[in-house]
Amino acid sequence: MPASTCASACTRFRVQGRGRGAGLRVVTAAEAAAEADLIMVLAPDPVQGEIYEQHIAPAPEGRRRVVLRPRVQHPVRLRQAAGRCGTSAWSRPRGPGHLVRRQYEEGRGVPCLVAVEQDATGTAFELALSYAKGIGGTRAGVIRTTFTEETETDLFGEQAVLAGGVTALVKAGFETLTEAGYQPEIAYFECLHELKLIVDLMYEGGLGKMRWSISETAEWGDYVTGPRIITDATRAEMRKVLAEIQDGTFAREWMAEYHGGLKRYQEYKKQDSELLLETTGSELRKLMSWVDEEA
């Protein structure tokens, strides 16, 4: 069984078990689409198109009130799907599911984006907004956007900054220090552990609060060294990444990788799990009982 199929199957059975354990009636996607007034697609990105085509599109016309989370599909395909839905709106919390749930339970919320691509009823925006309110998003704020804008900015942000950019920077910094003979434990604290402290300050008050909180020495290094790391060449590569998202290149390559068994994906994952950065961090985190790796 291909890795992608196995992963999807494991996820499906786990979700089904949790659903039944919570007292919910679990049915197939086709059965749900045939009887539901509202359909929220929360499946992994690469299989959303397949689920729509095979299970949602054949549903009775009047039932196709769909809230999609568009991610990997090219914007043109999204608009085509929206046209067939009748009503296609969408509400997107700006955070992972477990964090959205935790914030909701604590009486807070994660900011949401809402979008309407097709509105056959005239109430699509209100529908999406009500969903955002239901998961706590309006407690933190809701911004109206479009399918295309959110898809392209989200993919760019996680690739160039939030995931790809940050992890590459952390690894490069750690390797620079260890290759120069410094202890990996010290390099870990300097290049990874303290990152949370800095990001938390940015989260609370932007760049201004972060710079107010650190020393003048660190702030000076921020101003004069940051541009040496993020150069014009880096910015040019960022523009190239964005262009590949906009023209569908990224979507085609990722879908091919996913449906081809995730071979390169698994190799990348294995390589990073064996990095000195990761093995060092695993040992150091055992000393910090308050770090919940599953949070």
Element of type H or E holding 66: strand 65-67
Between CA 276 and CA 205 the distance in angstroms is 33
Q: Which amino acid is at 199?
A: V
Q: Which of 74, 98, 193, 259 is catalytic?
A: 74
Dihedral through CA 274, CA 280, CA 284, CA 286, nearest 10? 30
The token pair at 83 is 């046209």
Q: Helix (H) and strand (E) counts for the chain? A: 15, 5
Is residue 55 annotated as part of the catalytic site, yes or no?
Answer: no
Compute the CA torsion angle 160, 270, 251, 41 (nearest 10 deg).
Answer: -100
**Contacts of range 122-130, beta carbons closer than 8 Å, 24 or more positions apart:** 124/87, 124/88, 124/89, 125/89, 127/38, 127/65, 127/67, 127/87, 127/89, 128/67, 128/89, 128/90, 128/91, 129/91
Maximum Cα–Cα distance across the chain: 67
Q: Known catalytic residues? A: 74
